[in-house]
Structures are given as structure tokens and as C-alpha cells.
Structure 1
């Protein structure tokens, strides 16, 4: 039942966004590159040329998966993303998860990212560094730093993150490393499509006793629809979550960008609809 409701919600959101796009005038070249959040697994910075404040709703469904985007069940997330000026971006979210096995848990996260290279215009290269804190679904607190990189052109975009996290738990790694990268190409007007990949606990490639089960990877298709004169935009991505390496240590419920449930492979699907508070 939960799975069917989630799939129906995705179809409804996509249909609504497509209908909005069809009622708007032709998109100017390059306008659709100004997406609020084009990639689902990489956080991008905003510029003064983009909508400055946005409220986003994200829903995800996972099987044998866990993380900020969802776990073994349905995750409902509300987030706020805003441009603070001086090349600073604020991103904060709160999650409510409904597990397939029963039970409801929550998680929160907040961070501020500053572009140190680029960031004054929507097009071109941007490189930033951010700091943040979170509380995951297992009630474990952590602090983290995120390095962001992006390049936006008229007909394509590239973005990625490297996230270094320190959890306040003896059962967790000293420092967790999460990497992500995404590429999208313009298919038609405001419609972009491409691919995203995520790596979690990559230290498992060289640490046989990696504390959270081993190195895990996700790769899957990615789409973004962001009509120029609409307040709404839509993003979708999903794919298999699989272990590239394994260790004998059981996994935890740490916030991640791919799932990790007791050394089992799984999958996840994540969809977001963003609403621009300012024209």
C-alpha cells in the first residue's frame, strides 16, 4: 500500500509540472539551467540569478535501503533552500520515515555552503565548501563538511559533492566519506535528463573492517524539469543500491545518500517538487 501511494504521488507531481510547463511561453536558451535542485543526491549552491528562497517536498521509497532520502520504507521530507547573499547558500531539511517493518522515526539536517570559486552567475563553474550538523533516524548526532562542485552551460550541467562526516557514536567510523556526481543534458526546452552516481563508505575499498558494512554504490537515471516562468520544478532519480565491498561489521542507521541495511543490496527511488517563494 505504501509503495503504491508513493508511485501515485510521483505520477501526480510529474503530470502537474508538465502541465505547468506546457502553459508557459517558450523557454529562452539557458534559462532552464537555473534549477533550484537539479540533482537528487548532490546539493548545489544558489546564485543571485536564481530563485532565492524555495520550499521543497521530497518523497522516497526504498527496499533494503536507509538514509536521508529514505530507508527501508517511505521517507517524507520538507526542506528550505535559500540564497543568503555574498555567495552563501542555506539548506535545511526535516524527515519523517515510515518503515516497512513498522514504526515511525525522524531526522533533521542543516548546513551553510559558500562558493569560493565562481558563484556570482548561474552559468559557469562553481566550487564551494560548507559546514553543517544532523541527527539521523537512530538519534545519533553528527557534524559534517561538504565540498561542492558544479558547471552549468546552456545545454548541459555537471555537479558533485564530497561529504566528510563525524558521528558522535563509538560504533561508527571516525570519519565517513560520501561522494556523488551527476550529469544532465537538455532534451527539450526545460527538460533535462542524465545520470547520477553515489558512493558511500568508500574507505571500505581499503579497510576490511569498515564499521558500516563496506563500500556501497548507487547509479541510476536522473531527470529535472524547471520551466522558466513557473514557480514549480520537478526532479527524479533512483536505482539499485549495491555493495562493492563487504565487511563483517553490521551497518548503522546513519544519514547517507545511499542505503545500507545489514549488508543486503536494495534499491531506492526519490522524487522532489520545488516551489519558488519569489518570482
Structure 2
């Protein structure tokens, strides 16, 4: 496969011109985050256009979850600027620059480790969250029932969360991210630990959500799912962006065996060459 080329100046200029007319749902601009001697993100810039699904992919430790945590207000950028739904903040302003309430009211988050109330049931969890977002008790109850049915938690609706499997917790956390009908979804590994039929339902839901005016940033190791539903793809490796483009255009930069590459082939082309890969001794072992 041929190497992937970076966007040229004309592409960057076109993107900036489009953003004047259509401001992004969220953006990171020149963001650097360090944890001691470790640089988790290095001068990272990317945007999620409104009305799109953007997939964030990369190896473990590439910087995906750090990006999500920045956007969730759990970290502040050491350098650069973060903007969510038009509200921007920098390190000098602190986490979310005091704008957390405004941002979180209109954003649904799924973190890598869902923050659920261990001793509440799904019904209690969703009703409580709905009312905390200002919905009436009746509307909160209606939405809770709809979401419990959609995510196939009816049989566990009166059980406390503490005993839930990882997959059940993920489904409830996704329901919690949706209960207030946000403008934007920021999802860290939404398909992990879920069976294929639930994954299919969630993909269909996200496509419908964007069709009706929402915007989505999701990170995932399921590259086929990202390829299927994402309008744009951002590939991170070692804290740096190596691809940021529409999914279709990104795949055209690498030729696969049958024409334009799959997203998996693109990912392998730009990341695999940066990995320490071989276990030569495995094929040279002696018989015992």
C-alpha cells in the first residue's frame, strides 16, 4: 500500500471557510496534554462538523480516551483550546472555563468507565437524571421506559446496577447519555462488550440521531462499525493525528487490493508501520 498524504493547503483553507458558515459541534485546536513525562496528546487539532458522525480510532494509549475526557470536562488542556457547542475553554480558564452546566445540558457522554449509581435501578437512574436535566417527572418516567425497552433492560428494570454485567452497564450508560435528548453525543467505545444485535441497533440509532440534527464523536476499536456509519475519521497514534478527513476521502488515499482501501486497510497502512511488530522466535521454536 502507498503512504497516506496529509491534507494540502487548499483542503485546510476550504475547511476553515466552511467552519465560518457551519461552526463545528466540537473542536480541539493545538491541544497538548501531558501526564508527568508522558505526552498523551501533542498539538492535536480536529473538528466534528455539526450533523455528522466522526470516528476516533487508534491503538490503546493513542490518546482517544484523553480526548474524550477533555471534552467531558474531566481534564483541562495543558496547551491549546477546546470548544464544545460554541463554548470554548483553555487551561487558563480551568476545566470547561466555568461553562460546564451549559455544555453538559446539551451533551450526552459515555466514558470508558461508566459513572452509574450502584444502588439505583435502571428506572431510578434514568428518572433521576431526566429530572436533573429539568424534565418533568412524567416526561422523565416516559423516557426511562422507552430507553429501558430500547436497550433491552426490561428484565432488569427493578434490579440495582451493582450486580449488572459489563454489557448491561454499557447499555444503561448509553441510555443515560440519551435521556435528555442532547444536541451532541461524545461516546467512548459505545460498542464494546455488546452483542452484535445491540450494536446493530445502536448504529441505526446514531444514524437516525444525526439525520434529525444531532452530532456524534465516537471512539471505537470496531473499525468496521466506524467505516459503516462515520462521515469523518480521525486516526490518532502516539498522541498525534495521522489522518483527519472524510471517511471516503481518507480511504481513497490508499489503494487496496480491489480499489480504494477499506478503513481497516487505511488504518494498517498508517499505524502498522509505526509498530514494533515481529516475534521472530515464534516461527523458529524447536520441538519439545
- Quick check: which has more Rg, 1 or 2? 2
TM-score by length of 2: 0.26
Determine which structure has the larger strand proportion and give its number.
1
TM-score by length of 1: 0.27
